[in-house]
């Protein structure tokens, strides 16, 4: 969700129980891929809590460590400005 144009900020939510978030939160950059409606299968696959979620999914990794899903409609190369615990999630900007 867009938060601000100046400075440019977006917000997203991560489950507190996420096993992936601790692996990427301390990276220099975080890649956010915005998928299109016709990419529902990819969305379901990478949201899965079992198996190899990235099997047969092409990605691009930047030199700063941001990982993007190839074919996504939009890539956002982000860093974390803040985190706010809220129930079962963390809100990140």
How close are the terminal C-alpha atoms of the chain, in Å? 9
Per-residue pLDDT of 35-53, as tens digits, reads: 988 899 898 888 888 888 8
Please tell me the predicted confidence (pLDDT) of residue 93.
Answer: 62
Q: What are the structural domain ranges in the chain?
A: 2-92
23: Cβ contacts below 8 Å, ≥ 6 apart = none
Task: Count other Cβ atoms within 10 Å, centred on residue 45.
Answer: 16
Residues of the chain with pLDDT under 70: 89-93
User: What pLDDT score does 91 carry?
Assistant: 63
Residue 31 class from Cβ within 10 Å (0-12 exposed, 13-18 middle, 19+ buried)? Answer: buried
Q: What is the pLDDT of residue 5?
A: 87
pLDDT, residue 92, reads 66
Please give the pLDDT value at position 50.
80
Confidence at residue 58, expressed as pLDDT on a 0 to 100 scale: 92
3 state SS of 51: coil
The CATH code of domain 2-92 reads 2.30.110.10
How many residues can be counted in the chain?
A: 93
């Amino acid at each position: 969700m867009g938060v601000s144009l100046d400075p440019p900020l977006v917000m997203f939510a991560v489950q507190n129980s996420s096993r992936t978030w601790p692996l990427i939160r301390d990276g220099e950059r975080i890649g956010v891929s915005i998928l299109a409606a016709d990419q529902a299968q990819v969305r379901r696959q990478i949201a899965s809590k079992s198996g190899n979620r990235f099997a047969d999914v092409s990605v691009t990794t930047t030199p700063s460590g941001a990982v993007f899903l190839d074919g996504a409609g939009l890539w956002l190369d982000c860093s974390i400005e803040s985190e706010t615990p809220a129930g079962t999630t963390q809100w990140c900007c």
